[in-house]
Amino acid sequence: MDFKISRSSRQCSVCSHRFEDGEKFHVGLITRPREEGVFDRVDICRPCWDRQGPGNVVAHWVSQFSREKKHAIYDPDFLWSVFHKCRPGAETEAAASARELSAVDRARFAYVAALGLVRMKQLKSKESRRTRKGEIMTLETLGRREKDRQRFEILSVSMTDDEMQAIQDRLSELA
């Protein structure tokens, strides 16, 4: 199983500007037609993003360039890739490599990744509502303008502390 999306190219894919340590930029994912489970990643600097917007990306988020390698649970790019492969409604291509996980595990991975992203202020919790399937949370990415933001709905999975820890440990192994 491969949860990884290629690492940052360290430069803007539009104008080739090299990112500075700590610089914020946008990451976009593009699926390949006829190639299941393969994402192409594009890194776009802020001026280029402001000029051209999201275009044909299926998902996007704001990242921050860092020379340090982070632990999986504290690595927003890694959590985003897990989130986008496991969340309900994930594009079929994106979910292909996560298919060998049970539906229960997929929901748990998506939930734990989402909590990590909320903790790191990459996602904002907007509202939650009760349904027959359980509690559904609405999450939104940050962005200065409406077109920079995306909304997702995920199931809030109830887990004991031990179960939560076990999922976090398995996540680290996947990184």
In the complex, the residues that contact Zn ion under the rule CB under 5 A are 12, 14-15, 17, 45, 48
What whole-number distance in Å separates Cα of residue 150 and Cα of residue 2? 24
- Comparing CB distances to Zn ion, the nearer of 57 and 112 is 57
11 vs 138, beta carbon nearer Zn ion:
11
CB 46 to Zn ion: min, Å: 8
For the CB of residue 49, give the shortest distance to Zn ion in the complex, in Å.
8
What number of other Cβ atoms are within 10 A of residue 133's Cβ?
Answer: 9
- Tokens 């939104």 label which residue? 140
Q: How far is the CB of 110 from Zn ion (least distance, A)?
A: 31
Report how many helices (DSSP H) and strands (DSSP E) the chain contains, helices first: 5, 6
Residue 115 has phi, psi (to 5 degrees) of -60, -40
Other C-beta atoms within 10 Å of 160: how many?
8
Nearer to Zn ion (CB atom), residue 12 or residue 72? 12
Specify the DSSP element, H or E, that contains 154.
strand 151-155
Q: Which residues contact 69 (CB under 8 A, 6 or more apart)?
A: none
Query: With respect to Zn ion, which residue has the nearer C-beta, 29 or 48?
Result: 48
Report, in Å, the least distance between residue 29 CB and Zn ion. Answer: 17
